[in-house]
Amino acid sequence: MSDSTVNSAAAELIARIDREVRECIKCDLHKGRKNAVPGDGRINASIMLVGEAPGQEEDVQGRPFVGAAGKLLNQLLKSIGLRREDIYITNIVKCRPPANRPPRVEEVSACSHYLDRQINLIKPKMICPMGNVALKTFLGKDTSISKVHGQPVSTRESRVIFPLYHPAAALYTARLRSVLEDDFGKLIKLAASD
Ligand code: URA
Ligand code: SF4
């Protein structure tokens, strides 16, 4: 099969996941949502960013990282020469938790097969969990973003997990902005060295 055939098959399967997510009622988060937020970006992206959960603006638009944290994320991407269309962005849970509380264990587990399928289709070389909720999903509960951000971990699937602070953290704690800028610098060097 040619690359374009493979990509159009993958695009169809990603579109199917998007439809399933938009209609999903597997956990109680569906009750409060305006729109589910499946994810956005390139089907064959080599970098996938994974946030925690949609916020208010994402819930309104049905797209990830379109609010204040998303604006900062766009700036960070631009600073390393990337656009949103070059990567894939999604979240651990696809529906907004009430008042932006962290998603519960049972919500994360009800939603996890969508993320697993997205990863299996997109096959990113690098996955960047952003913030503690995403980090713990990939690297286990005994870790913390303040300890492991900016440090690549190789997985058995020959993938690199590259943890980042959540961009929203830098909106609350100004000094984290330069930490994020440094880590984005490391990310692009690592991606280029592959
Ligand atoms: N915060 C997240 O974790 N995800 C979004 O999509 C927006 C804000
Ligand atoms: Fe379904 Fe995930 Fe939304 Fe829960 S958060 S309703 S599992 S898409």
pLDDT for position 49: 98
Within 6 Å (CB) of ligand 2, which residues are found?
Answer: 21, 24-27, 29-30, 36, 93-95, 107, 110-111
Which phi and psi (to 5°) does residue 81 adopt?
80, 20
Domain count, the chain: 1
Mutate to test the pocket of ligand 2, among 16, 20, 30 (most ligand atoms within 8 A of CB): 30
Give per-residue pLDDT as tens, 109-159: 999 999 999 999 999 999 999 999 999 999 998 999 999 999 999 998 899
Find all residues with CB under 8 Å of 69, minimum gap 6, and list them: 51, 55, 166, 167, 168, 171
* Secondary structure class of 72 (helix, strand, coil): helix
Which residue's CA is minimally distant from atom 4 of ligand 2?
A: 27
pLDDT band, residue 91 (cuts 50/70/90): very high
* CATH code, 125: 3.40.470.10
Angstrom distance (rounded) from CA 51 to CA 91: 4
- Residue 4 pLDDT > 90: no
Give per-residue pLDDT as tens, 46-78: 999 999 999 999 999 999 999 999 999 999 999
What's the CA-to-centroid distance between 15 and ligand 2, angstroms? 16
Give per-residue pLDDT as tens, 20-39: 999 999 999 999 999 999 99
Tell me how far CA of residue 4 lies from CA of 13, 17, 91, 120, in angstroms: 14, 20, 27, 18
Q: Write a three-state SS string for 105-136.
A: HHHHHHHHHHHHHHHHHHCCCEEEEECHHHHH
pLDDT band, residue 161 (cuts 50/70/90): very high
Range(s) of the domain holding residue 41: 3-192
pLDDT for position 1: 67
Atom index in ligand 1 nearest the CA of residue 37 equals 6
pTM (predicted TM-score):
0.96
Tell me how far CA of residue 60 lies from CA of 5, 34, 96, 107, 124, in angstroms: 34, 6, 10, 20, 28
More confident residue, 140 or 106: 106
pLDDT for position 132: 97
Which residue's CA is minimally distant from atom 3 of ligand 2?
A: 95
